[in-house]
Amino acid sequence: MAITPEQALRESVEAIGTSKKKKYRDTIHPPVHQIIVSDFEDRRFDESNIPEYMSDIWEEYLPDWAGSTCTLDSFEIIIQDSLKVAYLIKASRLFPDGSLMQTFNAIFTVGNKDGDWRLISRNPFNITKA
């Protein structure tokens, strides 16, 4: 349970790596909406299809990402009200040895539901492979 929007942001970025300190499903308020950059499809995670850990599906869909971690390099608030905060972020994905795999920007939106801040939307863009 994240008690601040910034904590929710940090946890949601960490959860898209393989640290397994936070379960992906514990960092979101379903349904979560994401634009898939490679084909511009919408993806929605709801109770029927949320992976426990995001890395659980990589073996099948993104085998190059197995073992990678994700770091939050910088962020700024772009929209804020009492129930939602949208952040413009810069993040990096690292190979298991710590070398840079890619950087990306994204808009991550976190929402407050009964005092619990969690991710509700993410839109990655400007993905640059190292």
**Residue-wise pLDDT tens digits, 90-129:** 999 999 999 999 999 999 999 999 999 999 999 999 999 9
For residues 11 and 23, give the distance between their C-alpha atoms in angstroms, rounded to a whole number.
Answer: 9
| Sequence ranges of the domains in the chain | 5-129
> HSE on the CB side for 120, CA within 13 Å?
12
Tens of pLDDT, residues 16-37:
998 888 888 889 898 887 766 5
CB 68 within 8 A of CB 94: yes
| Fold (topology level) of 5-129 | Nuclear Transport Factor 2; Chain: A, (3.10.450)
